[in-house]
Amino acid sequence: MFHGFLLPRGPHSSPEAPAGRKAKAQAVPSPDTLSRRLTVRLAEPADETVLRSLAALDSSRLPAGPLLVGEMGGGIQAAVPLSGGRAIANPFVRTAELVNLLELRAQQLREQGVGEAKLGPVVPLPGRPALARRIA
């Protein structure tokens, strides 16, 4: 007959282990859960280095002006200029649906007037023909 003190004890054999493992598994999201999480937001100045890297991966330039970014899997995977234009996206991640969503949201924001420059009327500067003749 076996005595309790001879049986191996540890976190795997204790009665509390199954409950503890379940709680731990629920605390850490699985890769499937991370890939299903999606965030659409306006780009911030702190995102510049990530966006430049993303543009380099896409073999394109970083679009000018405000950008709408899409985060998937814990990082920025695509960006669309609010003013319209070509999107940049990670070529190693499936981003076609994400880019479509970003373009749709950018169009909605443009219709609401978000991202438009609020400039006053253009005031022409007085010409200086004498200065122009000296330089030329």
Name the more confident of 83 and 3: 83
pLDDT attached to residue 87: 94
Asked if residue 64 lies in contact with residue 55, where contact means CB atoms within 8 angstroms, the answer is no
Can you give the pTM of this predicted structure?
A: 0.60
Asked if residue 76 lies in contact with residue 86, where contact means CB atoms within 8 angstroms, the answer is no
CA 78 to chain centre: 6
Asked if residue 79 lies in contact with residue 70, where contact means CB atoms within 8 angstroms, the answer is yes
Is it the case that residue 56 has pLDDT exceeding 70? yes
